[in-house]
Copies of this chain bind each other. A is one copy, B any other.
Amino acid sequence: MRTRFHEHLEQLADQLRAMCVRNREAIAMATDALLGADLELAERTIDYCAETVAMRDGAEHAAVTLLALEAPVAGELRRVVTALQLVDDLTRMSTLTEHIADTARRRHPADAVPEPVRNLVTHMGETAVDLADAAVDVLTTADPGDAADLDARDDTMDDLHRDLLAAILAEGWDNGTAAAVDVTLLGRYYERFADHAVEVGRRTLYMTTGRRDDALQLRER
């Protein structure tokens, strides 16, 4: 009975990891579509993200089934409850990625990202991939070091986000209001994607250790 419980818990963990791996793929695709003004890739990314979002129900169902059939307590209960919360973070990462791809789609054939901020958006895209990668690592290893690493990378994202807003607000911005609106929202999507990746790390750590590390306190943005 308990062996089966652990098998099911492992399957649930695999589902979460699979969603996170897909988010890493998708954010790379979305950034490429955005910076390359690539309509076909943007549409493929949107479909791909929708498939990831559709994995939510299966993962939620698996978690609720575990609760119903096995009535876990203590550490095992914590793992299942945290898995339920992780499903939401991972789904949200997909939706935010879809928004980025959709911006590329709506602006096509024009570039949504004007020249002066292309470098910044490129770095935000790379940082987002790094964060999703690190979240996959934490989901696999539950290593506190990996989770701390996630936090450090999120600081990079915050710096880039600040620079991005500063660039839009700088004197020399002559790319118009429409581009300012697009880039403002894009910045928000990347930043929120990063926040959820960090949350995945924090929750995973809590799931396995039961401790909320003070250095990794939950931050809401």
Interface residues, chain A, CB within 8 Å of chain B? 53, 63-64, 67-68, 71, 73-74, 77-78, 81, 84-85, 88, 91-92, 95, 165, 168-169, 173, 177-178, 180-181, 184-185, 188, 220-221
Q: Show 14 A/B contacts (Cβ-Cβ < 8 Å), sorted by A.
A: A64-B78, A64-B81, A67-B67, A67-B77, A71-B71, A84-B84, A84-B85, A91-B220, A168-B181, A169-B177, A169-B178, A177-B180, A184-B185, A188-B188
Chain B residue nearest in CB terms to A88: B88
A64 and B206 CA atoms in complex are apart in Å by 14
Report chain B residues within 8 Å CB of A95. 220-221
* Chain copies in complex: 2
A63 and B82 CA atoms in complex are apart in Å by 12
Report chain B residues within 8 Å CB of A68. 73-74, 77
Report chain B residues within 8 Å CB of A180. 177, 180-181, 184
Across the A-B interface, the 6 shortest Cβ-Cβ residue pairs: A71-B71, A95-B220, A184-B184, A177-B180, A181-B184, A68-B73
Chain B residue nearest in CB terms to A60: B81
Q: Point out the residue from B53, B77, B177 that lies within 8 Å of A168, measured CB to CB.
A: B177
Among A71, A74, A181, residue most surrounded by chain B Cβ atoms (within 10 Å): A181
Shortest distance from the beta carbon of A202 to any chain B beta carbon, whole Å: 14
Q: Point out the residue from B71, B73, B177, B221 that lies within 8 Å of A177, measured CB to CB.
A: B177
Shortest distance from the beta carbon of A159 to any chain B beta carbon, whole Å: 18
Indicate if the CB atoms of B185 and A177 lie closer than 8 Å. no
Report chain B residues within 8 Å CB of A74. 68
Chain B residue nearest in CB terms to A81: B64
A176 and B220 CA atoms in complex are apart in Å by 29
- Knowing A74-B68, A88-B85, A184-B184, the reply to whether A220 touches B53 (Cβ < 8 A) is yes
A77 and B104 CA atoms in complex are apart in Å by 42
